[in-house]
Amino acid sequence: MPKVVPEYKDEARRRIIEAAIAEADENGFSNLKMENVASRLGISRATLYLYVKNREELISSALVFIRSWLADILRDTFSRDTFEDTFSAIFDKIIYPGDGTGMNAVLEVYAGAVRDDMLHEAVKENYSVISSTLSGYLEEQKSLGRFSEDLDADLSARIIISIILGIKMGVAAGLSREEAYRIWDAAVRRALA
């Protein structure tokens, strides 16, 4: 039997995780079915289980992938020239992105974390990483004189995360893109004043 090279196995696992995220975006993590993920990839469930032990491992891996993706997005948006460009990019990529990013399922994960220990730990870690990343950016901008020395970067980062989640809830309830952006812009400006 031929050996599977590690790079192929890593790539196959990444594709499986991305398919799970796309499935969760459409149907939610609570409705994630291994057969639907396998079907998206055109593989059997048995093949899927060569790369992930079970549904819980797949969901956990998807949440880690989303955390990494969010941190990468934040680091990318921080390279923008202006405060306005940075926070506009956060809006476009996190609050109101296209489909298939995993962001549609994020609110469900936060809600499910109340009752599910695995989701609770994943949400706690995601929150910590995103908060730390945002706080670091705000501290850097403060040192460049773009924000007041009085700005509490840690508190401001947590406020921004709360704003993001609140607007995502509004979007889920039908808030238009224009109204969501208007709220985002005003809230971030107030939080960082």
Yes or no: say if 29 and 108 are a contact pair by the CB < 8 Å rule.
yes
pLDDT at 101: 61
Spatial distance between the Cα atoms of 122 and 70, rounded to a whole number of angstroms = 13
pLDDT at 95: 87
Q: pLDDT digits over 156-168, tens only?
A: 999 999 999 999 8
For 37-71, give one letter per residue: b (16+ CB within 10 A) or e. Answer: bbebeebeeeebeebbeeeeebbbbbbebbbebbb
Q: Enter the tokens of residue 84.
A: 């306005």
CATH level 3 topology of 56-191: Tetracycline Repressor; domain 2 (1.10.357)
Spatial distance between the Cα atoms of 63 and 11, rounded to a whole number of angstroms = 17
Q: Where are the beta strands (DSSP E) in 83-139?
A: none
For 82-108, give one letter per residue: b (16+ CB within 10 A) or e. Answer: eeeebbbbbbebbbbeeeebbbbbbeb
Average pLDDT over residues 119-133: 90
Q: pLDDT digits over 38-57, tens only?
A: 999 999 999 999 999 999 99
Yes or no: say if 132 and 153 are a contact pair by the CB < 8 Å rule.
no
Average pLDDT over residues 181-192: 93
Residues 6+ apart with CB under 8 A from 7: none
Average pLDDT over residues 145-162: 93
Phi/psi-derived region of residue 133, left when phi > 0, alpha when psi is between -120 and 50, beta in every other case: alpha
Yes or no: say if 122 and 64 are a contact pair by the CB < 8 Å rule.
yes
Yes or no: say if 137 and 78 are a contact pair by the CB < 8 Å rule.
yes
